[in-house]
Every structure is written in C-alpha cells, then in structure tokens.
Amino acid sequence: MKKLFLAVLMLGPAVGLRAEDGHQLWLRPHVSVPVTVVLPARTSALLATARQELQQGWQGPAGATITLSLKKDKAIKYDGFRLSAQGVQASTERGLLYGVFELLRRQQIGQAPEAGLSNPSYEHRLLNHWDNPDGSVERGYAGKSIFWRKDSALVVTRRDQTLWQQYARANASVGINGSVLNNVNASPVILSAGYLGRVKAIADALRPYGVKTYLSVKFSSPVLLGGLKTADPLDPAVVKWWQGKVKEIYQQVPDFGGFLVKASSEGQPGPQDYGRTHADGANMLADAVRPYGGLVMWRAFVYSPSDKDRAKQAYNEFVPLDGKFRDNVIIQVKNGPVDFQPREPFSPLFGALKKTAVMPEFQITQEYLGHAIDLAYLAPMWEECLQSDTYQAGPGSTVARCTNGSVYRQAHSAMAGVSNVGLDRNWTGHDFAQANWYAFGRLAWNSSAKSAQIAEEWLKLTFQNAADATPAAEAEWNAKFLTPVAQLMLASREAIVDYSMPLGLHHIMSATYHHYGPGPWWAPSGMRADWTPPYYHQAAANGVGFDRTRTGSDAVSQYHEPLASQLNDPATCPDEYLLWFHHLPWTFRMKSGRTLWDELALHYDHGVQQVRQFQRTWDRAQPYVDAERFAAVQNKLRTQSGNAVMWKDACLLYFQQFSRLPIPAAVEPPMHTLEALIKYDTPAPRPARQP
C-alpha cells in the first residue's frame, strides 16, 4: 500500500505566499502526477467524478494504476469502502468516491498508508440549511443563501451551478451525503411548482458528488398552498394532497431524500393543532414518501410557553410515543435539552427512545458561540456529546452508540449539522469556521474520531504549502504553526464557555443582537419567560442556577442511573454542569476549595486571558500564512478579545448585584460599568469579507 502515497513536506517561513481568500476550503489544488484509473464497466456521473478527482489530485507514483471496484462485501456497511494496494473497493458508487477522497487526503497530509476497511458510523450524514426562499439565512453569518435569492429566484445561472458543484464536492470530500436545502421554519412556497424546478436544478448539480437533496416542509402546506380547510394528518383529503405533492417532487428529483419537519414548536403549525400526536403527523408523511424510499426527519425541538422547566418538554412529549413511529421516521434531537448552548448536558432523549430511530442534531453555525466573529472549533463539543454515557443499556451506552444502531436496532441512522455556509467568498464568514464544516463530516463518518486529529488534518489541508521542502522545514512548520495553532483550536470552545456561560450557566446572551454578546439582564416587558436569561440563571441574593434536582424541576430523573443520582448531588455533579442542575449559594464551597462566586469570577477571567493568548499565538504564525487570511483572522481575534472582556464585565457586575461579594484580586478589574454595558448591549458586527 505504501507505493500509493507520497508524503507532502511543509515549508517553513515563506516570503510572498500566494494570497488566498479561503474559497477553496480544505481542497486547495496541488500539482498532480499522471495516474491510470480503472473504472467498473458501467458508466455514471458519479464514477466520472471519482475518476476526475483522482486524476486532478493524485500525488502518488507517476503512472500508477488505481482500480475502482464495485463489489458486494458483507463487511462493507452503507457507503463504506476498502482500501488496498490496488485501489478502492466499495458496494456503492458513493463508497468509491469516498475512498478516492481518503486516498488523496492521506497523500496531501503525508499520513501513513492504512489499507483496510472504512465504514461510516451513520447511514445518512446531512447538512441542514436554514435558508429562506428570499435568500436570507436564519442564524446565518456568512452572507446570503447559496441556493435561493430574492430577485429572479427561479432563474438558474451558470454561476449558481458552479457554486453548487463546489459545495457538493466539499461535502463529498468529508463524506456528507445529504443536504436539506431550506429553513426548518419552512415557507410553503418551497413546494410550489416553480421552486421545485429550482430544487431539481440543485439536485442535478449535487448528484454527481453523491449528495441527495431534502426539503423542510411546513405542516400546514395543504391549507396554505393547497387550499384545503385543514392540515389534520388523519383527514383523507390531507393524506391525498401530500401523496400528490410527493409524487410531483419525485417526478422532478427521482433520488429525493425526504422531508425535515419542525412542527408544534415555537408557533410552527403541527399535528397537535388538530388534537393529534407527533407520531400521527410524522407517520402520515412517512407513508407518503415510503414508496419512493424517502425518509422523514421529525425534530424533537418542541416547547410551548410554560412556567415549568423547558428542558424537560421534549422528553415528556416523545418518550410516551416510543415505538409508534414508522421505521422510515427518524427523530432529530438537538445535542442538548435546551438549544445549542455553548455547553449543555446531552439530551436525555438519547437512549430513552429504544424502539424509535433517533439522530443527533449539531449546530455548525455559531448561533450562541460568537457567530462568524469568534474563533470556536466545535469538534470537542460534539465529541463530548457523542461519547457521553447514557447508561440506558448499561455502561458504555454512549450517545453515539445509542443513535448509530449499535445499542438499539433501527432501520436507519443519521446525523445532522445546521450549516454555516453562505455566499461569503470563504463560505463560512470566518476562515476557522470552515474547520467545523470539515469536522462535522469527519465525525459523522467516524463518531469515534478525535478532535485533535481532525484539527491537525484540517490545518494541513488548509494552510500547508508544499514545494521542494526539506525535513527541517517540515519540522519547523510543525513546531511553529501546526502544534500551537491546533492547541489554540482545541482550547477555543472552552474559552468561550469560560468568558460567557461557565459552570453550567446557559442562555444568558443578549437577544437584542440575535444571541451575540452578554445579556443576563435581558427580560423585556411582556416577553415569555423561557426566552429570557433570568428564567435560566435565577440569580438572587440566595444564589444562582436552575434547580433541576429531585426537589426542583426533577429534570435529573430523565437521565438513567447512576447518572441521575450523580447529577442530583452538587458534591458529585461535574463542575461544568453545576449551575445547570443546581441553584446554589454564592458562598457554596467548590471542589477547588474556592467559593462559587470566586470560581465563577476566575472562569470569566480565564476565558479573557485565553483569547489574548490566542492573539499572541496567531501573531507568531504570521510567517506561515498568506497575508489575506492572516489579516482576516487577526482582525476577528481582535474583535473577539474586546467582546470577551465585555462578557466578563457584564456578567460579573450583574451577578455582583446579588452576591454582594468583591471580585477576587486575581481577576482583572472591570473596564466598563454595568450601566454602560446595558445601554450598549453588545452589537454583532457584520463579517468583513463579502463575495
């Protein structure tokens, strides 16, 4: 197998590195050498793609012959593949393409050859786009939608097609095989004939890279689009309408993947409007797509205005329905029980649904983690969730194993990531936000992958420069760029937790500027309580935190033993979840020996100091990065550093009103007054680079 690979050496400091704008992502072109590709006897656009990728990216021995072989093998799962000295074997054409990208990735990063089997952890690995028909993107921080636009929305240009092909290629390179093209807060217009024509054009562009298209649908579409008087899922006229619409879709897109549905949540219509259950609604749609092999992904993000604990509602609604869903329904569950917070315990629905397929939903776009301004590498957060033990079927029943079919038999498995892709030239608004797109694909393929390994892969693919380098230059690049910048990435998410919501605090951001910046005080008159930070932090003279113990909301009882008892006791509850599950006095003695107040203050300060260290690390990396991307990241770190200070000052000064304790001497004194911060309410500056 060794002969298939050519180690790529990295340059040391270079003068005049070629300017890069990040558009090529981790797929930057390299000088290739000739290779002969032997394909199966059949022909297809996807096989042609695999051959093209090999020919334009091969860096192995010149004149090598690589065979792509389609052959059934019981050991090959889904779109997995087997590498050998001869090439790639797979059971599907997609598997061959993924094997090709694996060969090329290893060549480009100089990774040791590794013949053998590679199977994906999940059958379906999807991006969820929250893109609207007018081209806007909900929680999008990288410009307008790549799929839709307000003017001439149904006209498909060559630029559109090129962009969609580039997008599909990026997804295929990390094993992503599905794309939901529109917002879960769906508009019924997406199912109109004109928009379905554009869906067809998008599907045609994605198909050669093995990426299926899916649509989010509004549950009330039969009323809003079809003119019916009801959207009751048990009404025969409604069933017939959906059957007709599904037939229309598959006539346009024969390999259409299916529907994503947000229903009976945040004011979105759903089956509960008609006295029906989530199972009634999901099954009606599942029956409509079943003849075509389609899936329904039904989101468990449901909650209604309540003075009870919002974190409990999804569990309470879905656990009684376990086993009542069709086998082509997958319940899509956010990683945490509230809403993509910088840190949450895993959702108790993972493992609790034993007879129903469940899929994790992660947020790649940084809604609560600094938008496209703050540098936040999210793989450690996702790894933390996937490897959390639910204990539902005994020790070792991790979230990953409970959702990928290892613990419970389920007809389908899937993982979804809410996309951060937009029209910005670098796709994601922040050059380092590209790493989260990459990492999502790698973890969806291998849920046991390590964040550190993924970070190093991405850095090599995205920033290394190969040309007549020497071993000494490679060692220098590793020591002065790769190692420190990888460490920066691995620490970045924890730094944001520290300077924004440490020790289990959550949902205390400002809503004035769309979830960017501090807002522990934010509670406008008339606003529903569970949309305001005071509902969650419960700060008062007697302490801080949300009491979810058995004497509080009893959310701990939704977790399996021994975890429930561990979380219930502040002495055994991990510090990172302490204020998620407990309301504790400001003078509570922490495991460190410090008071809760002092510990909280030190975490806030540590987060600020971490970001300043990130700035120093990146400044030292300047000789190894092209000037354009270096400056872009440097400017964003400068903004992040200032905003980290605002987070620290705002939260400590606000909470000090209740604790009435001094800020520890080891903590940098506030630079702002609370009154000024409340008046200013940290705005979210627009990412600098545009297409």
Ramachandran region, residue 325 (left: φ > 0; alpha: ψ -120 to 50; beta: rest): beta
Which residues have C-beta within 8 Å of that of residue 213, sequence separation ≥ 6?
A: 178, 179, 181, 199, 202, 203, 206, 253, 256, 257
pLDDT of residue 466: 64
Chain-wide mean pLDDT for the chain?
94
Residues 141, 690: contact at Cβ < 8 Å? Answer: no
> Residue 215's beta-bridge partner residues?
259
Alpha-carbon span 457 to 462, nearest angstrom: 8
pLDDT of residue 9: 32
Phi, psi of 73 (to 5 degrees): -155, 120
Residues 53, 97: contact at Cβ < 8 Å? Answer: yes
Length of the chain: 691
Fold held by 495-546+583-680: Alpha-d-glucuronidase, C-terminal Domain (3.90.1330)
Residue 10 has pLDDT above 60, yes or no: no
CATH architecture, domain 124-453: Alpha-Beta Barrel (3.20)
Residues 489, 637: contact at Cβ < 8 Å? Answer: no
Q: Are strands 81-83 and 116-118 parallel, antiparallel or unpaired?
A: antiparallel
Residue 16 has pLDDT above 70, yes or no: no
- Mean local confidence (pLDDT), 39-52: 96
- Mean local confidence (pLDDT), 286-290: 98
pLDDT of residue 514: 83
How do residues 130-186 score in pLDDT, each as one tens digit? 999 999 999 999 999 999 998 767 899 999 999 999 999 999 999 999 999 999 999
pLDDT of residue 551: 97
How do residues 453-500 score in pLDDT, each as one tens digit? 999 999 999 999 864 478 899 999 999 999 999 999 999 999 999 999
- Mean local confidence (pLDDT), 243-270: 96
In the chain, the amino acid numbered 459 is L
Exposure on the CB side of residue 541, measured as CA atoms within 13 A: 0
> Residues 166-169: contacts with CB within 8 Å, 24+ apart?
167/206, 167/421, 168/205, 168/206, 168/208, 168/209, 168/211, 169/27, 169/209
Q: Which band of pLDDT confidence, cut at 50, 70 and 90, is reported for residue 104? A: very high
Q: Residue for token digits 């579409």?
A: 221
pLDDT of residue 251: 98
Residue 582 burial (CB < 10 Å; 0-12/13-18/19+)?
A: buried
Helix axes 451-463, 379-386, angle to 10 degrees: 150
pLDDT of residue 112: 75
How do residues 391-413 score in pLDDT, each as one tens digit? 999 999 999 999 999 999 999 99
Stretch (H or E) spanning 126: strand 124-128
Alpha-carbon span 539 to 494, nearest angstrom: 23
Residue 416 has pLDDT above 50, yes or no: yes
Delimit the domains of the chain by residue range: 2-118, 124-453, 495-546+583-680
pLDDT of residue 23: 97
pLDDT of residue 154: 84
The DSSP secondary-structure symbol of 448 reads T
Q: pTM for the full model? A: 0.95
Residue 74 burial (CB < 10 Å; 0-12/13-18/19+)?
A: exposed
CA dihedral 69, 73, 75, 76 (to 10 degrees): 50
Residue 191 has pLDDT above 60, yes or no: yes
Q: Which of 301, 447, 433, 311 is nearest to 385 (CA)?
A: 447
Residues 532, 539: contact at Cβ < 8 Å? Answer: no
pLDDT of residue 676: 94
Residue 677 has pLDDT above 60, yes or no: yes
Residue 43 has pLDDT above 90, yes or no: yes
Q: Which of 114, 248, 266, 569 is catalytic?
A: 266
Q: Of the ranges 11-15, 308-312, 397-401, which one carries the lowest mean pLDDT score?
A: 11-15
Residue 445 has pLDDT above 70, yes or no: yes
Token reading at 422:
């937009």
Residue 5 has pLDDT above 50, yes or no: no
- Mean local confidence (pLDDT), 332-336: 98
Q: Which of 322, 360, 323 is nearest to 124 (CA)?
A: 360
> Residue 359's beta-bridge partner residues?
332
3-state class (DSSP) for residue 564: helix
Q: Residue for token digits 């029943």?
A: 397
111 or 188, which is more confident?
188
3-state class (DSSP) for residue 611: helix
Q: Which of 264, 318, 341 is nearest to 546 (CA)?
A: 341
Alpha-carbon span 65 to 3, nearest angstrom: 11
Residue 306 has pLDDT above 90, yes or no: no
How do residues 236-246 score in pLDDT, each as one tens digit? 999 999 999 99
Q: Which of 235, 322, 327, 339 is catalytic?
A: 339
Phi, psi of 147 (to 5 degrees): -100, -35
pLDDT of residue 114: 80
pLDDT of residue 11: 39
Known active-site residue 79: no
Known active-site residue 361: no
Residue 541 burial (CB < 10 Å; 0-12/13-18/19+)?
A: exposed
Alpha helices in 174-235 (DSSP H): 193-206, 221-224
The DSSP secondary-structure symbol of 23 reads T
Residue 689 has pLDDT above 90, yes or no: no
Stretch (H or E) spanning 436: helix 434-445
Residue 124 has pLDDT above 70, yes or no: yes
3-state class (DSSP) for residue 673: coil
3-state DSSP percent of the chain in helix, strand and coil, to 5? 40, 10, 45
For the chain, what percent of residues have pLDDT higher than 70?
A: 95
**DSSP symbols for 314-375:** HHHHHGGGTT-S-TTEEEEEESSSSSS-SS-PPPTTTTT-SSSEEEEEEE-S-TTTTTTTS-
How do residues 507-533 score in pLDDT, each as one tens digit? 999 887 689 999 999 998 888 899 999
Q: Which of 287, 367, 384, 649 is catalytic?
A: 367
Please state which CATH class domain 2-118 belongs to.
alpha beta
pLDDT of residue 6: 32
Known active-site residue 339: yes
- Mean local confidence (pLDDT), 583-589: 98
